[in-house]
Chain A
């Protein structure tokens, strides 16, 4: 195994010297995968990475390898925020400053906190959906809806302008609640939105949508008979009508694509929202609200078509 690694190292060192001048330390072929934990989610990601990258995955661990131990990998895949922080800490060590980190399975907001400190060439695969995809889903699931409500908290407020622009472009009116800075502001904003909206979007924001608020938001939307379209599969199980999210497997697949580029000697692609997605429908809630929502696969295909990716 050791011998194999040395041989590989030599090959990649030559390749790296040609492509990235100035690197003096030997680089090893392969990706060091760092996990934030050991749960089922991480096992799912690991399984996809190993299956798709094969020998390209040099190691998988919940701890980054010591800075001075062994050859330096081609890239570090940090799965989750904790893993990203570990990789980030190590990246200041000699020889590691140029090793790009690919962060995955984390929200864009969390990545944004650390983006500027990452080594050059680093990138991310966010859990967040591209803003336009929400509107695609609304149009497909609720073709008659003309007013889409949304609550914006500190984390999601950055998407407000984009969403409004895209909504306008697609002929839908966006009803935004007053910006929410504290929990007490949620209900007034929610009431304001629910008074007008026909569909409500839940965009990731821990202040607005969390274990303490979700039930009340669900009750409020249900009472107003406004279907909730959420970013979380758990929300759909709890009572949201529709869900639009990316599974760990899909995240891993997207990471695989990025890492293949890197292993092929190219730079990582720029940070990007989730390219793959899953739609979930809570049929019972939809039925209770008297809605005829198409089945998830139909919706998914239709959305892909809208994204130009059938």
Chain B
């Protein structure tokens, strides 16, 4: 299903939306934490170095005063041996002359005093003066001697210089960074898992609702969203269900309307067709319709070598009826005559209106002789029929020509033409008669 990929994308985006602020916050925290920790650790290392230097200065005060190089050397050696971060220790006298040293330095020893910054950034130099005896109270003699400048400024102490490695600082910084990154990654992973779970509570209903919408789109209007599966989007699901219901109802209604319209159209079409094939006044097949059916009968008669006869009927003096009693009376005569004709024919026989007051009757499986008998029955029946119209009783007769299908000229036109000729012959012979077309 093509809709699934974007949902994964949405889930991912929801996760990013939740995780990005957290990522930024964590990044800021890590940077801030590192910065602060660095500062504090540097300060702590510096404090420790200063404390060591002051301790060594205290320990070295008397040996330095006494010029006891061996003692100073012991102090320096043991200090370097005891502390792995302490790279070197050097003692200088009051004139900054190197007294003793222990450990290794990458530059001349004197550089510890003259250029302590040159050891950066890998190492740090910490200097401490061999301290004055601060516990001594000021004496009245001191007050008097303080003004004697030549002797006042003389110093008898010295200095101790420590070279402290900052590598541990780097190590700790790196360890801390890794630690912070690991913790952050774990935290983010956990947060990602949680946010993914929370996101799924939104995406799963969306997934479900999307499937429902897709189904509806494909025409399955009975598809409905489950309220349980829709979870937090239950309201949306209800809305979609209502919409789908509405669409289904509308479609059924429209289908009903279409069906009705189609049916009406069909009826109109059939009616039009019927009207095209039927004579409106008498309800008989009109000339075209009759010709079509008659052609079929001709074909069938030829194929099965059956006889087929046709009777051409013409109402005698019909023009007079029209002229005397009006067209309405003429129409009533036509209808009445047709009813009489129809009452006389068989079911298989076909009656049609050929035009005006002319009618044709096709008689399958009937020879000319049989047709004449049928024609005479019909002529007789018409003659015996009283046509009542508005209190007026009319009497009319018909002239008929009978022709049988000639296998030599087996066409409807020829058949009609011969029957027509026979009918005119009947007219000529005094009307109200039946004449048979002469043999071919």
Chain A residues engaging chain B, CB cutoff 8 angstroms = 36-37, 41, 80-82, 85, 105-107, 109-110, 113, 127, 153-155, 182-184, 186-188, 191, 204, 206-207, 210-216, 219-220, 231-235, 237-238, 248, 251
Whether the Cβ atoms of A234 and B67 lie closer than 8 Å is no
Whether the Cβ atoms of A110 and B138 lie closer than 8 Å is no
B155 proximity list for chain A (CB < 8 A) = 183, 212
The DSSP consensus for interface residues of chain A is helix
A78-B142 Cα distance, complex, nearest whole Å: 17
A234-B139 Cα distance, complex, nearest whole Å: 6
Quick one: which of A153, A188, A234 has the most chain B CB within 10 A? Answer: A234
Contact digits for B273-310, partner A, Cβ 8 Å, 1 yes 0 no: 00000000000000000000000000000000000000
* The stretch of B128-136, B185-193, B349-357 that contacts the partner chain: B128-136
Whether the Cβ atoms of A154 and B136 lie closer than 8 Å is no
Whether the Cβ atoms of B133 and A211 lie closer than 8 Å is yes
Whether the Cβ atoms of A82 and B140 lie closer than 8 Å is no
A237 proximity list for chain B (CB < 8 A) = 137
Contact pick for B154, options A36, A113, A183, A220, CB 8 Å: A183
Whether the Cβ atoms of A110 and B67 lie closer than 8 Å is no
Whether the Cβ atoms of B144 and A187 lie closer than 8 Å is no
Whether the Cβ atoms of A212 and B133 lie closer than 8 Å is yes
A228-B143 Cα distance, complex, nearest whole Å: 22
Q: Which residue on chain A has the smallest CB distance to residue B129?
A: A212
Chain B residues engaging chain A, CB cutoff 8 angstroms = 61-62, 65-67, 93-95, 132-145, 147-148, 150-152, 154-157
Contact pick for A213, options B65, B137, B139, B145, CB 8 Å: B65
Query: A219-B62, A234-B136 in contact; A183/B143 too (CB < 8 A)?
Result: no
Q: How far is the CB of A258 from chain B (nearest CB, A)?
A: 18
A234 proximity list for chain B (CB < 8 A) = 136-139
Q: Which residue on chain A has the smallest CB distance to residue B138?
A: A234
The 10 closest A-B pairs by CB, nearest first: A183-B156, A216-B65, A234-B137, A215-B133, A206-B145, A106-B144, A107-B144, A232-B139, A206-B151, A110-B144
What are 23 residue pairs bridging A and B, where the CB atoms are less than 8 Å apart in the complex? A36-B143, A81-B144, A105-B144, A113-B148, A127-B140, A127-B141, A154-B151, A155-B148, A183-B154, A184-B93, A184-B156, A187-B65, A206-B145, A206-B152, A211-B133, A211-B134, A216-B62, A216-B65, A219-B62, A237-B137, A238-B135, A238-B136, A251-B140
B66 proximity list for chain A (CB < 8 A) = 187, 191, 216, 220
Whether the Cβ atoms of B139 and A110 lie closer than 8 Å is no
A186 proximity list for chain B (CB < 8 A) = 65, 156
A251-B141 Cα distance, complex, nearest whole Å: 12
Whether the Cβ atoms of A215 and B144 lie closer than 8 Å is no
Whether the Cβ atoms of A110 and B133 lie closer than 8 Å is no
Whether the Cβ atoms of B141 and A232 lie closer than 8 Å is yes
Query: A41-B140, A233-B139 in contact; A107/B61 too (CB < 8 A)?
Result: no
A207 proximity list for chain B (CB < 8 A) = 151, 154
Q: How far is the CB of B97 from chain A (nearest CB, A)?
A: 10
A80-B139 Cα distance, complex, nearest whole Å: 12
Q: Which residue on chain B has the smallest CB distance to residue A188?
A: B67
18 further contact pairs, Cβ within 8 A, besides A82-B147, A237-B137: A107-B141, A110-B144, A127-B144, A183-B154, A183-B155, A191-B66, A206-B142, A207-B151, A210-B156, A211-B132, A212-B133, A213-B133, A220-B66, A233-B137, A234-B138, A235-B139, A238-B135, A238-B136
Quick one: which of B61, B62, B150 has the most chain A CB within 10 A? Answer: B62
Q: Which residue on chain B has the smallest CB distance to residue A126?
A: B144
Whether the Cβ atoms of A187 and B136 lie closer than 8 Å is no
Contact pick for A204, options B95, B134, B141, CB 8 Å: B141
Q: Which residue on chain A has the smallest CB distance to residue B93?
A: A184
Q: Which residue on chain B has the smallest CB distance to residue A191?
A: B66
Q: Which residue on chain B has the smallest CB distance to residue A213?
A: B156
A216-B142 Cα distance, complex, nearest whole Å: 18
Q: Which residue on chain B has the smallest CB distance to residue A107?
A: B144
A104-B105 Cα distance, complex, nearest whole Å: 55
Q: How far is the CB of B153 from chain A (nearest CB, A)?
A: 10
A153-B137 Cα distance, complex, nearest whole Å: 21
A233-B147 Cα distance, complex, nearest whole Å: 20
A248 proximity list for chain B (CB < 8 A) = 140
Q: Which residue on chain A has the smallest CB distance to residue B134?
A: A211
A274-B200 Cα distance, complex, nearest whole Å: 100
